[in-house]
Every structure is written in structure tokens, then in C-alpha cells.
Amino acid sequence: MQQASTISVVITTYNRPDALTAVVEACFAQDDRNFEIIIADDGSTNNTRDCVAALRARSPVPLLHVWQPDEGFRAARVRNLGTLAASGDYIVFLDGDCVPARNFVSQHRKLAKRGYLVSGSRVLLSERYTRTLLEQHIDLNTLGVAARLRLRLAGDFNKFLQTALVLPDVGRERHDFNWRRIKSCNMGVWRSDLDMVNGFDESFTGWGHEDSDLVVRLFNAGVWRKDGAFATEVYHLWHRENQRDQESSNRKTVEQRKTDGTVQATAGLRELAAAA
């Protein structure tokens, strides 16, 4: 199996520097240091810019910051912007409120396989514990099994076994399209596959399913999926849900593209690169 030579972790963020700091510091503590970090910033203010500058000054790996003006929810475009800035042959997308486990990069490297993407899963944290973690700068990766179980029993984690077990790379391959665990807050994709389908589609407006759209177009192009659960967990810090005004229409578009066999993004990597 061909492994990725260099991984680029593209972290999307928007005006949440405390959460971003927790995520990036967890990246600094990875057991695999052969990667780079791209902060893909969807229009944050100078507080985030100052935060990134401070993180870059002590980063043990290359760290870049790309930014676009705040013109509403434009996750697809900013992920494409991060992809264009990346030098890795394998891209791992991570959200700026999803704290990775210490083996996050090494597990994504292990699971990477030509002809597949990897869709990871997440452990949801409560509002109360998220506040405590950020205020007290708690390092989730230093918590023992007993502490994690207590957090699960207290309702501060929505899962426990996924935080305690790493399962082998067996039975993970999925050869059909389904909506389960499609989350670009934790997803690994070969850069060549992103180029093949023209990346995320920036024509998606508002919250929802731009990640499912990418996966269905990759599926239509012959790229299958591996399930990253029990291997690539992230701890998703609590936040208020985004407005979902466009969710239904976005989902209908994805369903239609599955039926039509659409492969190319209407507005994606090529158009963004040409406009630069």
C-alpha cells in the first residue's frame, strides 16, 4: 500500500481563537510530525490573526495561514483555498473546534489508500465541559481511561469506547454511497482525487452537505470510502448550531448528483486558482 509522503492538515476556522488554539496545540503534540498545518480562515478578525501568529512562532511543523473576507458561510471555498496552499499529497480536513487525538495524523496515514477517502468520526463534548476545557486549558490527550469514562457517565462525552480503543484496519471499506459519517471536520482525501473532481463545490450556499457533495462526486469518479471510526477520533467542542436554511435544497442537490453521476464541481479548485 502506498503511504502519503507528506500530509497537509487543513484546519477551517472562524472567529474562535480559543478553540483553534486547543486544536492546533493538539496537532503540535502528534506522534507523527511529518505533516504541515494550513489554517483556512473564513473571514475571522484580527484576534484570530494574532492567535495564529503566536502559534506559528512555536510550531514544530510548517504552519501557514490563508484568509478570505467574511461574506457568510463559505466553508467550501475556504477548504479549497487551504488545499491550494497545501504541499502534501494527502489532505486531512479538520475543523477548528475538533481537537485531534495524539495519533490522529499517524492513523490517517495508516488508513490512507489509493482509491479511497477516509471519513473519520467525532466525540461530542457538552457545553459545560467545553467551557471548562477552554478556560482551564485541559489537555484531553492526557486523560486516562477512568477519567474519560467518568466524563461519559456525566454526559460530558457522548461516546466512550471510541476514546479508549483503536481497532485494526479491517472491514473499513465501503463500496456504496451513504450519508453516515460524512463530515469534513475529519476527512482524509488524496490531493490527486481532489484535483480530479475539482475540489469542494463553492456553489453550495449556506450550511450543509458541501462535504456530502464532495464524497458523492468522488464516489461517482470511482473513489470509495473507508470508515475511520475507532481510529481517527476527534473531540468536537460544543458550539451553537449554525442556521440551516439551505440544508434541504443542498441535500436535494447531492441526491440529484448521485443520480446524475456528476463528478466535477461547478465552482471549485480550478476556478479559484484561475482567479488568484
Residue 2 lies in a domain: no
The answer as to whether 70 is a domain residue is yes
* Residue 109 belongs to some domain of the structure: yes
* Residue 188 included in any domain: yes
pTM of the model: 0.95
Number of domains in the chain: 1
Assess if residue 231 is contained within a domain. yes
Domain that holds residue 132: 7-275
Residue 1, in any domain of the structure: no
Can you give the CATH number for the domain in which 270 is found?
3.90.550.10
The three-state DSSP-derived secondary structure of the chain is CCCCCCEEEEEEECCCHHHHHHHHHHHHCCCCCCEEEEEEECCCCHHHHHHHHHHHHCCCCCEEEEECCCCCCCHHHHHHHHHHHCCCCEEEEEECCEEECCCHHHHHHHHCCCCEEEECCEEEECHHHHHHHHHHCCCHHHCCHHHHHHHHHCCCECCCHHHHCCCCCCCCEECCCCCCCCCCCEEEEEHHHHHHHCCCCCCCCCCCCHHHHHHHHHHHCCCEEEECCCCCCEEECCCCCCCCCCHHHHHHHHHHHHHHCCCCCCCCHHHHHHHC
Q: Is residue 242 situated within a structural domain? A: yes
Tens of pLDDT along the chain (276 residues) come to 567 788 999 999 999 999 999 999 999 999 999 999 999 999 999 999 999 999 999 999 999 999 999 988 899 999 999 999 999 999 999 999 999 999 999 999 999 999 999 999 999 999 999 999 999 999 999 999 999 999 999 999 999 999 999 999 999 999 988 887 788 899 999 999 999 999 999 998 777 789 999 999 999 999 999 999 999 999 999 988 765 556 678 899 999 999 999 999 999 999 999 997
Query: Is residue 75 in a domain?
Result: yes
